[in-house]
Amino acid sequence: MTGSAKPSIGTRTGSTLIDVRDARSVVVRDDRDVSGAPEYRPDLYEGTAEFYDRYRPGYPSALFDDLLDRATIGDRGRLLDLACGTGQIAFALADRFDEVIALDQEPEMVTFAAAKANALGITNVSWMVGPVESAVVDGAFTLITIGNAFHRLARQKVAERATSWLAPGGHLALLWSDSPWRGSAPWQQVVDETMREWARHAGATNRAPADWEAALDRDPTSDVLRRAGLRTVGRYEFPVDRTWSVEALLGFVYSTSTHSRVALGDHLAAFEETLRDRLLAVEPNGIFEDHGSSAYDLAACP
């Protein structure tokens, strides 16, 4: 891998998070303006980093190959990975870019990813803490990615910032993956129903805004990107076949914002026992087949 910037995370000085790498700092202010968009709590994924990294399947390599081809990433350049989580995109693409900046507002996620990068000897990714909406990033980027998170951001503001951060002809890619229980198989219905039931028991139904899906219907992402000056290129979907165990499904559930171990609290043990028993009642062999998909929406900067 190329590049000399070593992974680092921000340090807090008052209400400001500052990149401590060098003088080319990335400053993040705590002045989020969601402009009427559904507002998500800033600690949604507290306690999930290890589960997120271990149990969330990465995006398929075919998706990344297709994305890099359509975005004409030929001379490497710079990647900005927004709402990066534990780095599923940043790690997968680090060796295709000279420099990667990965930003997330949850310190636990960034700390986990930075430690993993150090352990793997990855030196061209800089890990930053702070809200995407108010990040000030130096320089132009060949590609900006957002994985499974655009709906949680102030979409119009982030799209406009992305336009300003992209080099001429650069691209913005919004990546998505299905949750394993999104399907009609009996075991998938069991997981979905059990999660809904225990979200009520644990008082976790309000962790996501009730109107977030309606907000997407009222103002489709394609319109948001168009207003920001981006040209929609297309949506590209890739089938993904996965096999799950009970432990892997529980791990995935604990990586979510609504059913993390923190969100379940005192209900954790009872939830786990209930879900385990119900899954094995449906599939006694403990093997669960999932036929899902991953996709990305691609937009281009003029």
List pLDDT tens digits, range 57-95.
Answer: 999 999 999 999 999 987 789 999 999 999 999 999 999
The string of pLDDT tens digits covering residues 111-138 is 999 999 999 999 999 999 999 998 888 8
The string of pLDDT tens digits covering residues 33-57 is 444 577 888 899 999 999 999 999 9
Helix axes 246-253, 268-282, angle to 10 degrees: 140
CATH code, domain with 56: 3.40.50.150
What pLDDT does residue 40 have? 85
Q: Is residue 98 part of a domain?
A: yes
Question: 105 and 66 in one domain?
Answer: yes
Q: Is residue 248 part of a domain?
A: yes
Query: pLDDT band at residue 27, thresholds of 50, 70 and 90?
Result: very low
Question: 161 and 132 in one domain?
Answer: yes
Question: 192 and 142 in one domain?
Answer: no
Question: 89 and 168 in one domain?
Answer: yes
Q: Is residue 2 part of a domain?
A: no
Question: 103 and 22 in one domain?
Answer: yes
Q: Is residue 126 part of a domain?
A: yes
Q: Is residue 6 part of a domain?
A: no
Q: Is residue 25 part of a domain?
A: yes
This prediction has a pTM of: 0.87
The string of pLDDT tens digits covering residues 176-200 is 999 999 999 999 999 999 999 999 9
Q: Is residue 156 part of a domain?
A: yes
Question: 39 and 169 in one domain?
Answer: yes
Q: Is residue 159 part of a domain?
A: yes
Under 8 Å between Cβ of 244 and 290: yes
Q: How many domains does the chain have?
A: 2
What pLDDT does residue 298 have? 98
Question: 213 and 140 in one domain?
Answer: yes
What pLDDT does residue 36 have? 57
Question: 31 and 142 in one domain?
Answer: yes
Question: 195 and 72 in one domain?
Answer: no
Question: 248 and 165 in one domain?
Answer: no
Residue that is written with structure tokens 């990667």 in the block: 100
Question: 43 and 123 in one domain?
Answer: yes
pLDDT at 160 over 60: yes
Question: 114 and 18 in one domain?
Answer: yes
Higher local confidence (pLDDT), 76 or 290 = 290
List alpha helices for the chain, DSSP H.
49-55, 61-70, 88-93, 107-120, 155-165, 186-201, 212-218, 221-227, 246-253, 261-264, 268-282
- Domain containing 260 equals 186-207+243-288
Query: pLDDT band at residue 208, thresholds of 50, 70 and 90?
Result: confident
